């Protein structure tokens, strides 16, 4: 019973301060990632349109799709981890980091 409490509450694995710091960085990245996607994709498309190059337009579209997929993975990472840890045993968690 103590092991389940230990794993569910993350006592001893990471400190509360570390958990809060990780959550803070994750929240910051939740803001920065979409902004970076918009800025970088806009620059790629502006360069492609200014050059009137179909090849660069296709490359910019491909980069946008890759960036969006990586962003989706980034935002879904806590849920994916919770699901995978739930398969192992329902008592595991991501220590409140979401």
Between CA 66 and CA 87 the distance in angstroms is: 29
DSSP assignment of 34-71 equals HHHHHHHHHHHHHHHHHHT-HHHHHHHHHHHHHHHHHH
Residue 96 lies in a domain: no
Residue 97 lies in a domain: no
Residue scoring higher pLDDT (18 or 57)? 57
Residue 98 lies in a domain: no
pLDDT at residue 94, rounded to an integer:
65
Model confidence at 17, pLDDT cuts 50, 70, 90, reads confident
Residue 94 lies in a domain: no
Residue 38 lies in a domain: yes
Residue 66 lies in a domain: yes
pLDDT at residue 6, rounded to an integer:
45
User: Is the pTM here over 0.75, yes or no?
Assistant: no
Residue 43 lies in a domain: yes
pLDDT digit string (tens) for 75-85?
888 788 777 77
How many domains would you assign to the chain?
1
Range of the domain at 31: 2-88
Q: Among residues of the chain, what percentage have pLDDT more than 70?
A: 73
Does residue 1 surpass a pLDDT of 50? no
């Amino acid at each position: 019973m103590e092991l389940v409490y230990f794993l569910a509450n993350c006592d001893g694995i990471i400190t509360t301060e570390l958990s809060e710091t990780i959550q803070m960085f994750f929240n910051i990245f939740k803001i920065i990632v979409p902004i970076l996607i918009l800025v970088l994709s806009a620059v790629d498309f502006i360069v492609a349109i200014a050059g009137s190059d179909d090849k660069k337009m296709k490359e910019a579209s491909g980069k946008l799709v890759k960036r969006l997929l990586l962003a989706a993975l980034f935002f879904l990472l806590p849920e994916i981890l919770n699901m995978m840890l739930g398969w192992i045993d329902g008592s595991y968690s991501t220590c409140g980091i979401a």
